[in-house]
Chains A and B, each alone.
Chain A
């Protein structure tokens, strides 16, 4: 294989520079004692202390984590069911409707998803007197709905690559449908479900627009707080927050990469 030309490598480096320099610069600023980015006021961790003392940000971060944990878990359950329904239970009436409802949220603009869910909650409130105060509960419901589609797609892709005779063999040996799902299908798609959960978790933590629509007066998620702060310009606490988030993500990626490598080594290629 001949190596890419210098031109290709220059573009590659330029592209990565565009992707990474702003974030690295921001991380450097987070240790700047001065409030102004242009002035280097010396190394300092004061913005980290300020961040940890900022009740509003901490509250919002806690709320966001809570919503992300719950919604990712439910999205994984519902998305796995949808993936199984689309690729393992045979034909049923309304299958194409379900396919459409799984595919659509992936390409739906956030503003439309958010608007439509808010209007649903308002209408339900009028009709049933539920869900009462909008906040963590309604944001969670909204996040489950849009991230379950992503989980379903990941699970479906895994199921499409899985030899269906494994499940047939289990059924042939006396496993009833539920037992086959529990004994064979779920253990084998567990890695896909884990990826789905992680994606749903990240999507939920990251979402600003849908949460803004579906939240009530009281509840503010972390992205909502960040948005209201950065709209006004440079906020050193947010620089510190960015650094922490990037550090967490990098560690997470390294750990999962190490696990994947270990798994690959533990399984010698079949002779």
Chain B
């Protein structure tokens, strides 16, 4: 503590390490891969390893030549399969988000109004599925809905039906699968905004002459809007690019873009086209993601 000492080199080094390490890691393993996807989406497929033409032709004697083609994107717009996949994904994601909201809102509301310590227990029951394998839970659903599953078995023995229902490998199964998997994502933000709701506000509204339904629509619903938006986007965004659920529960006609991309890559081995599909999927996702971050920042402020 004597004389003038300047902050040591070690102190700046520590700061540099803290910022630099995750930065470099993410540049290399997150940002660079996207640049590559973008690049390959403009390449031509060839039968080789790797199966696409190089973006820069280093062998050309007259220096670099950029081999870019918009063929992949043109193909995406021309072939019905992709357009249908995109639209179908959006439809399925939207409908399952709405179903999640319909089921999740009363659940979140009931939990928020339950006194402690039961409330914590109910919350634990909502969170618990998070920690169990997603894949195994989808599998459990498959077993339930199968030809010889519990549901068919039950309905048959009750005499409601005489032939097993084809529930598995349908669009309906995909909706159920998404609701089943993503319901906790809807309930938690809803609960967070409903929990803050002071019960006195309800009583004040009732005291001022509002009927229970009016209290709900005038007080409860408007105050839950941030939770509704956050929960809906948390369901919609992952549902849109979902692969496992349509792959296991969907039928041949259940076209979802995540599944289509996977097949394009692994089955057709058309890497450039798969990249183009990915880029378009990202473009569709940008709007809900930007919306989500906007609302998150508003909630934080």
B238 touches A178 (CB 8 A): no
Q: Would you list which residues of chain A between 150 and 200 have a CB under 8 Å from chain B?
A: 152, 176-178, 181
**A37 x B180 contact (CB < 8 A):** no
Against A, the Cβ 8 Å flags (1 = close, 0 = not) of B3-17 are 000001011001101
The answer to whether A177 touches B11 (Cβ under 8 A) is yes
Query: Does B107 interact with chain A (Cβ within 8 Å)?
Result: yes
| A22-B137, A233-B146 known; A116-B33 Cβ under 8 A | yes
**A37 and B149 contacting across the interface, CB-CB below 8 Å:** yes
A82 within 8 Å of B (CB atoms): yes
Q: Confirm or deny: B77 has a beta carbon within 8 angstroms of a beta carbon on chain A.
A: no
- Residues of A within 8 Å of B128, CB to CB, are 249-250, 253
B-chain residues with CB within 8 Å of residue A205 when the two chains form the complex: 133
Q: Which of A14, A108, A177 makes the CB contact (< 8 A) with B14?
A: A177
- Contact status B132-A111, CB under 8 Å: no
Question: Could you give, for residues 96-109 of chain A, a 1 whenever the CB lies within 8 Å of some chain B CB and a 0 otherwise?
Answer: 00100111110111
Is A47 an interface residue, CB under 8 A from the partner?
A: no
Contact partner of A101 (CB less than 8 A), chosen from B30, B135, B244, is B30
Within B253-282, which residues are at the interface with A (CB < 8 Å)? 258, 261-262, 265-266, 271, 274-275, 278, 281-282
CA distance A257 to B110 in the complex (A): 23
CB pair A22 B285 closer than 8 Å = no
Q: B14 — which chain A residues lie within 8 A by C-beta? A: 176-178, 181
B136 near A38 with CB under 8 A, answer no
Choice from B15, B110, B153 contacting A4 with Cβ under 8 Å: B110
Q: Which residues of A contact B148 (CB under 8 A)?
A: 36-38, 234
Chain A positions within 8 Å of B32 at CB level: 120
Whether a CB of chain A sits under 8 angstroms from the CB of B113 is yes
- A117 & B107 in contact (Cβ 8 Å cutoff): no
Number of interface residues of A (CB under 8 A): 89
In the complex, what distance in Å separates the CA atom of A270 from the CA atom of B132? 37
Most buried by B among A2, A101, A104, A111: A111
Q: Which of B94-113 contact A (CB under 8 A)?
A: 103-104, 106-107, 109-111, 113
**Stretch from B20-28, B59-67, B221-229 contacting the other chain:** B20-28
- B103–A11 CB distance below 8 A: yes
Q: How far does the Cβ of A250 sit from chain B's closest Cβ, in whole Å?
A: 8
The distance from the CB of B230 to the nearest CB of chain A, in whole angstroms, is: 12
Question: Is the C-beta of B40 less than 8 angstroms from some C-beta in chain A?
Answer: yes
Complex contacts, B27 vs chain A, CB 8 Å: 101
Which residue of chain A is the closest to B49 with respect to CB atoms?
A122
Minimum C-beta distance from A38 to chain B (A): 4
Enumerate chain A residues within 8 angstroms of B125, measured Cβ to Cβ.
Answer: 16, 19-20
Contacts of B143 in A (CB 8 A): 22, 25-26, 29, 37, 234, 239
A241 contacts chain B at the CB level, 8 A cutoff:
yes
Contacts of A241 in B (CB 8 A): 136
Instruction: Give the interface SS of chain A, mostly helix, strand, loop or mixed.
Output: helix
Residue B248 at the chain A interface, CB threshold 8 Å:
yes
Within 8 Å by CB of A116, from B36, B103, B114, B124, lies B36
Grouping DSSP codes into helix (H, G, I), strand (E, B) and loop, the B interface class, with mixed when no group exceeds half, is helix
Q: Which of B18, B132, B179 contacts A18 (CB 8 A)?
A: B179
- 0/1 interface trace, chain A 118-146, chain B, CB 8 Å (1 if under): 01101100100000000000000110110
Structural contact, B133 and A206, CB atoms closer than 8 A: yes
Most buried by B among A15, A85, A102, A250: A15
Over the window 114-136 of chain B, the binary record of Cβ atoms lying under 8 Å from chain A Cβ atoms (1 yes, 0 no) is 11000000101110111111111
Q: Is residue B192 contacting chain A, with contact meaning CB distance below 8 A?
A: no
| Nearest neighbor of A88 in chain B, beta-carbon distance | B18
CB of B11 within 8 A of CB of A206, answer no
Q: Whole-angstrom distance between the alpha carbons of A271 and B78 in the complex?
A: 71
Measured between beta carbons, the chain A residues less than 8 angstroms from B204 are: none
Write the A206-227 contact mask toward B (1 if CB under 8 angstroms, else 0). 1011001100000000010011
State whether the Cβ of B189 lies closer than 8 Å to any Cβ in chain A.
Answer: no
B271, A119: Cβ atoms closer than 8 Å: yes
B262 touches A209 (CB 8 A): yes
Instruction: From the candidates A79, A208, A253, name the one contacting B22 in the complex (CB within 8 A).
Output: A79
Q: Which residues of A contact B (CB under 8 A)?
A: 1-4, 7-9, 11-12, 14-16, 18-23, 25-26, 29, 36-38, 78-79, 81-82, 84-85, 88-89, 92, 94, 98, 101-105, 107-112, 115-117, 119-120, 122-123, 126, 141-142, 144-145, 148, 152, 176-178, 181, 202, 205-206, 208-209, 212-213, 223, 226-227, 230-231, 233-234, 238-239, 241-242, 245-246, 249-250, 252-253, 257
29 examples of A-B residue contacts, CB within 8 angstroms: A11-B106, A15-B183, A16-B125, A19-B180, A19-B183, A22-B140, A37-B143, A37-B149, A78-B22, A81-B18, A84-B18, A89-B18, A98-B23, A104-B30, A107-B289, A108-B241, A110-B241, A111-B241, A112-B278, A119-B40, A176-B8, A178-B10, A209-B243, A226-B136, A233-B142, A234-B148, A242-B136, A245-B133, A249-B131
